[in-house]
Amino acid sequence: MRILTMCLLMIAAPLAAQDQPQRESMTPSTSSGSGRTADLPAPPRAEQRPHSFEHHGIRVDDPWHWLKDPSYPNVDDEDVLAYLRAENAYFEAAMAPHQPLIDTLFHEMRGRIQEDDSSVPVREGNWLYWWAFQPGAQYRTWYRRPVAGGESQVIFDEPAEAAEKQYFQLGALEVSPDGRFAAIMVDDDGSERYQLRIRDLESGRDVETVTDVGIGAPVWTADSRGVLFTEVNENWRSYRARFHRLGEPVENDRTVYEETENVAFTVSVGHSQDRRYILINSGENVSNEIRLVPADDPDAEPLLVARRRPNIQYSVDASHGRLWILTNDNHVNFRLAEASPEAPGEWREVIAGSDSVYLRGIAAFRDHLVVTERVDGLDQIRLRGYDGSERRIPFQEASYTVSLGSNPEYAPDAYRLNYASMVTPPTVYDYHPAEDRLETRKVQQIPSGYDPARYVTERITVPTRDGRQLPVSIVYRKGFERNGQGRLFLYAYGAYGFAFPPGFSTNRLSLLDRGYAFAIAHIRGGDDLGYQWYLDGKLDRRTNTFSDFVDAARGLIERNYTRAGNIAIQGGSAGGELMGAVVNSDPDLWGAVVADVPFVDVLNTMLDESLPLTPGEWNEWGNPITDRAAFEYIRSYSPYDNVRPQAYPPMLITGGLNDPRVTYWEPAKWAARLRATKTDDNLLLLKTNMGAGHGGQSGRWTRLREVAEAYAFILTQMGAEEAR
């Protein structure tokens, strides 16, 4: 049984360094607006310490460079910690008057969550597995029971494991084929360095600790006596796959594959749907190669499917003695091919690439190849029989998101699907192919009540400045007037080919019920309209992502959904970079900005190849070390380098001290430069989670309170009449 909790994340004139420390406070404002700082103590001011570097003959001054602790990932510099704590204290002081609103929002959001929620059981082998929350619990408890009937068994108790810990994240829970053992991955500080433990499910006790620097989900061998797993090095790069035989000392663990050719490539492991092969993938965002290891012979030499090639990706599954390969080797939207395991590099086309159909994934079950794809930006599930027959599963809503759910069995009677729309709560279906029937297994319950008839969702297109048609998904409560005065919340991500889906959110109802419309801009950099849509928002076309977002806002203004200054925006990680770019370019459009763990110090990060993700990110952003054009282009938009003397909207910035993806100093340096440069007295807040990482705090209620804080910030900065 597999659980994975993470995804995916990742100018004009720099300020001159000043010789004297800058500790002066901002002149108090006499303005009474809710976005002002008149009633607060002076905000913290990070001193400016002279620092500069030169690259390609260009000098860059960085007076807040000192906020990067040289001993990172240990952060023990007292000046750095003092500044972060001062900013956190300022955040607390600024939000203290709004605590009643935060409490109201939190209780609203909590009231929409079923406290004793549970998942639909999934069969794997002779067992049914599921998770459940106990009322009031922050974390899940994991269960199983025999398919043939019998008592339920707790196999992992997250609340007990998380007790007295500031942070807790279960990264993977993999049960051995014979059902005896579980391989468990746990992170207790947000650093995403997971401890891999082996638990005997008969006794309930951990019998081995395999590694303290694991990542991803381990894979069991067919005999249930060993696991393949991946580890990160000191730079948090997943660089090798190891094999551990149960009962043997970890010192005897064997390296099955180690990536030594390309420092940008990372290593992961998985298995084919028929469980015949363990798959070892080595790659980065746009190129990879896969090796096969027989699951019943982990000591065999890994078999390379096809050698890595620049800008060529492929994935592999197996069934009926064939390999099924999804690749973009001759079409940008991918094609499906097959090969023999005896000649894995000789591919025969099964489904040709298409300009209109974007193939995104395959799962090779006994009866069907299940193909996940996107047509005109809309998710589709295609079933292809091994005789060549095909069908798509029909869905009725005009805009929705659907994906293949948890389907560990090779020969299921039905396929598990996850479905939602902006007005339809998450729904679990079982699709019965023999009857061409969708069976509803679960609809997310909203205890405080929800009537979808009260809400309207639309999908519109707006023109971009270079003539493209940009999709925007919108939801609002009936009665929202398109009179050009409405308040609107606009969200986007726009990187790594991740399409932000038009899904459902119970939290979002707190904005809709206060009169807001909520919109998702499906900007370039994501793959919403196909893989080319992603390519058109990266490298030397990166600024298309930012202009798309601004054009989406202006398009919504032109259609009278809102007006300039009445738009709240939010984005995280690479979406936080988006926030930084658009507040620099078009600050007058935004009424409030939330930037979560924002990737804003792009130039410095891409110049530092010692950082965990940098080498693997050069194909996304460009390599400014070797390429002057990339250096100048990144410098032209990097949010930190382009803060300028102008009025900025109210802003809330968050970071995580243990974040290995967007290091804490990026939001800290950005906030410091904004404080020293901006000409307004609008509220600027920096909150750093001192015991968490990229995903913020753990625990469902703790995370919910952070959402409530962000919404309270938006509501109070956008207008007191909605702050109730």
Q: Residue 696: what pLDDT? A: 55
The dihedrals phi and psi of 667, each to the nearest 5 degrees, come to: -65, -35
Q: Quick check: 681 pLDDT over 90?
A: yes
Q: Residue 555: what pLDDT? A: 98
The 10s digit of each residue's pLDDT in 586-641 is: 999 999 999 999 999 999 999 999 887 798 899 999 999 999 999 999 999 999 99
Q: How many angstroms separate the Cα of 581 from the Cα of each of 35, 372, 613, 659? A: 21, 33, 21, 22
| Annotation marks residue 659 as catalytic | yes
Mean pLDDT of 539-553: 98
* Single-letter code of the amino acid located at 303: L
Give residue 21's pLDDT band: very low, low, confident or very high (50, 70, 90): very low
Which residue of the set 573, 601, 680, 698 is catalytic? 573
Mean pLDDT of 680-702: 80
Task: Check which CATH number belongs to the domain holding 688 and give it.
Answer: 3.40.50.1820
The 10s digit of each residue's pLDDT in 198-238 is: 999 999 999 999 999 999 999 999 999 999 999 999 888 89
Q: Residue 164: what pLDDT? A: 86
Higher pLDDT, residue 489 or 24: 489
Higher pLDDT, residue 168 or 374: 374
The 10s digit of each residue's pLDDT in 276-332 is: 999 999 999 899 999 999 999 999 999 999 999 999 999 999 999 999 999 999 999
Higher pLDDT, residue 720 or 210: 210
Residues above pLDDT 90, as percent of the chain: 85
Q: Residue 16: what pLDDT? A: 28
Both structure tokens of 370? 């299940």
570, part of any domain: yes
Q: Are residues 468 and 508 in the same domain?
A: yes
d(CA 580, CA 565): 16
In this structure, is the dihedral angle defined by the CA atoms of residues 370, 371, 375 and 380, taken in order, positive or negative?
A: positive
3, part of any domain: no
Question: Do the beta carbons of residue 644 and residue 584 sit within 8 Å?
Answer: yes
Last residue within a domain, chosen from 312, 334, 362: 312
Give residue 660's pLDDT band: very low, low, confident or very high (50, 70, 90): confident
Q: Are residues 184 and 241 in the same domain?
A: yes
d(CA 115, CA 129): 19
Q: Quick check: 402 pLDDT over 50?
A: yes
Q: Are residues 148 and 187 in the same domain?
A: no
- Residue 669's CB is within 10 A of a number of other CB atoms, namely 24
Q: Are residues 559 and 584 in the same domain?
A: yes
Q: Are residues 228 and 334 in the same domain?
A: no
Q: Are residues 549 and 428 in the same domain?
A: no
Last residue within a domain, chosen from 427, 445, 463: 445
Q: Are residues 206 and 269 in the same domain?
A: yes
Mean pLDDT of 515-541: 97
In this structure, is the dihedral angle defined by the CA atoms of residues 388, 391, 392 and 393, taken in order, positive or negative?
A: negative
Q: Quick check: 125 pLDDT over 90?
A: yes
Q: Residue 281: what pLDDT? A: 98
Task: Check which CATH number belongs to the domain holding 177 and give it.
Answer: 2.130.10.120
25, part of any domain: no
Which residue of the set 659, 680, 681, 698 is catalytic? 659
| Annotation marks residue 573 as catalytic | yes
Q: Residue 661: what pLDDT? A: 80
Write down the mean pLDDT value for the chain.
91
- Residue whose token pair is 């992170």: 187
Q: Are residues 513 and 568 in the same domain?
A: yes
Which residue of the set 528, 547, 694, 698 is catalytic? 694
Last residue within a domain, chosen from 418, 445, 472: 445
554, part of any domain: yes
Mean pLDDT of 530-551: 98
5, part of any domain: no
Question: Do the beta carbons of residue 15 and residue 641 sit within 8 Å?
Answer: no
- Which value, in Å, is the radius of gyration of the alpha carbons in the chain? 26
The dihedrals phi and psi of 418, each to the nearest 5 degrees, come to: -115, 130
218, part of any domain: yes
Domain that holds residue 222: 165-312
592, part of any domain: yes
Q: Residue 697: what pLDDT? A: 61
- Residue whose token pair is 């090796």: 291
* Single-letter code of the amino acid located at 638: S
Q: What is the pTM of this model?
A: 0.89
Q: Residue 236: what pLDDT? A: 84
Both structure tokens of 625? 């070390």
Residue of 476, 440, 621, 655 whose CA lies nearest to 562: 476
492, part of any domain: yes
The 10s digit of each residue's pLDDT in 308-319 is: 999 999 999 999
Total domains, the chain: 4
The 10s digit of each residue's pLDDT in 67-92 is: 999 998 899 999 999 999 999 999 99
Q: Which of 200-204, 414-418, 557-561, 698-702 has the lowest mean pLDDT?
A: 698-702
Q: How many angstroms separate the Cα of 254 from the Cα of each of 99, 243, 247, 601? A: 54, 5, 14, 39
Q: Are residues 439 and 453 in the same domain?
A: no
Q: Are residues 563 and 596 in the same domain?
A: yes
Q: Are residues 542 and 479 in the same domain?
A: yes
Q: Are residues 455 and 561 in the same domain?
A: yes
